[in-house]
Copies of this chain bind each other. A is one copy, B any other.
Amino acid sequence: MPPINRLRSQDPDFSQSLRTLLAFDAEQDDSIEHVVADVLKDLRHRGDEALLEYTRRFDRVQASSVQALEIPRQEWQAALQALPQDQRAALEEAARRVRAYHERQKAESWSYTESDGTTLGQKITPLDRVGLYVPGGKAAYPSSVLMNAIPAKVAGVPEVVMVTPTPDGARNPIVLAAAAIAGVDRAWAIGGAQAVGALAYGTQTITPVDKIVGPGNAYVAAAKRRVFGTVGIDMIAGPSEILIIADGTTPADWIAMDLFSQAEHDELAQAILLCPDAAYLDQVQESIERLLPTMPRADIIRASLSGRGALILVDDLDQACAIANEIAPEHLEISTQQPEVWADKIRHAGAIFMGRYSSESLGDYCAGPNHVLPTSRTARFSSPLGVYDFQKRSSLINVSHQGAQSLGRIAATLAHGEGLQAHAGSAQYRLES
């Protein structure tokens, strides 16, 4: 059995096969929903007391007060000092590049004045307070701290609050070091739905935030969905995906490893290669077979590739682009000569990696753009996490005396048409009699 599915766009059932491959059921688990609903309700009513109780129960951490769960700044600084020099330099350089890229996303307020003196505009303001969820245990990625916190700080958010569970009291020093580098303002050793509830509703000790971002397990995701509206949230992410379009000029081993780098995340991750050259697909398959046994996470990679991965023979690169637009992948590598020609044809993708040197892994860590990207076809309507997620807009309307004469007549006509006479009256008062 090949280690990865093989498809051809000319197969009569190709559309159906592709749909089956892409299908991912994000069905919500009722038992999780109920637990989370209860935790949030309890948190909202009992505050600190509930937070301490759930932290004892789920993380096995005994604390006499919520204040005792704050991770003091000295501890982050110590973690940063203790980091091996190469790790620290790499994190700092990654942070610098991420900051430089995101600086370009800052929106500025604008306004314009019309000939009658009426001024219209849009005022940009950062959010006051943002909560950043960082998973504990094996999924605690310092790169994720950088990618979530830096855009908020670039946006001008005065207070970024990190929460991270510390099962049995184990704190992750690299995560703390990353928080120090990213400019996080405070950190609490709490997690799960109870941490999401504390951030959304506030407790006696914890000030509520305006938005919660960052990845988490199914409980955290369910809690974020439930508090949405009380606070903003980022997207609920599905399994990570890569789609590679290749013309056959990139070494096959490189492409195999790029597919692995996605597949190693988890069994549900998806790695797909599109290429018009059947011989090249054979080479990549051979690379996969040869390299797979050497990978520390071979089991996960194997499960991902055989379950959800595919090497797909396409007619040509134009067809590859059309399929890419249908899939709207989180990550798209265009590993071809003159990649800009094909990138121009892509309408839907979270991030587009162009040319053989642009491996996804460079973007995951340090190229500069964000690694929090829309999954599960949501790139059709959503964007990478960015500074714009931490700024919001207010419309500005300053109508002059003269402007009120023309606008008031239009508004009154339309208001009467909609049967809203107070709207009409309010406009008409501003008219000269």
Interface residues of A (CB under 8 A from B): 26, 86-87, 90-91, 93-94, 101, 104-105, 110, 112, 118-120, 122-123, 125, 127-128, 138, 141-143, 174, 210-211, 229, 231-232, 236, 251, 253-254, 257-258, 260-261, 263-265, 295-297, 301, 339-340, 343, 346-370, 373-374, 376, 378-384, 386, 388, 392-401, 403-404, 407-411, 413-415, 417-427, 429-430
Contacts and interface: CB of A to CB of B under 8 A. Distances in A.
18 contacts: A104-B122, A105-B122, A123-B346, A128-B380, A229-B378, A257-B425, A261-B420, A261-B423, A340-B398, A348-B394, A354-B397, A355-B399, A361-B423, A362-B397, A364-B411, A366-B411, A369-B396, A382-B392
Contacts of A408: 362
Contacts of A174: 417
B362 A399 contact: yes
A120 B354 CA distance: 10
A254 B429 CA distance: 6
What secondary structure prevails in chain A residues at the interface with B? mixed
Contacts of A413: 86-87, 90
A45 B349 CA distance: 28
Contact of A395 (B91, B251, B350, B356): B350
Nearest to A402: B357
Which one of A110, A236, A370, A413 has the greatest number of beta carbons of chain B within 10 Å?
A413
Contacts of A94: 410, 414
A359 B426 contact: yes
Given A394-B351, A395-B363, A398-B355, A142 B424 contact: no
A350 B401 CA distance: 23
A361 B87 CA distance: 58
A147 to B, nearest CB: 12
B127 A380 contact: yes
A84 to B, nearest CB: 9
Given A358-B397, A379-B394, A366 B414 contact: yes
B393 A384 contact: yes
Given A91-B414, A120-B367, A397-B367, A347 B426 contact: no
Which one of A93, A101, A383 has the greatest number of beta carbons of chain B within 10 Å?
A383
Contact of A404 (B119, B211, B362, B401): B362
A261 B386 contact: no
Contacts of A128: 347-348, 380
A232 B260 CA distance: 30
Contacts of A388: 388
Given A253-B429, A353-B398, A360-B426, 9 more contacts: A174-B417, A231-B381, A297-B420, A353-B397, A357-B404, A365-B423, A374-B392, A381-B392, A383-B393
Contact of A414 (B26, B90, B296): B90
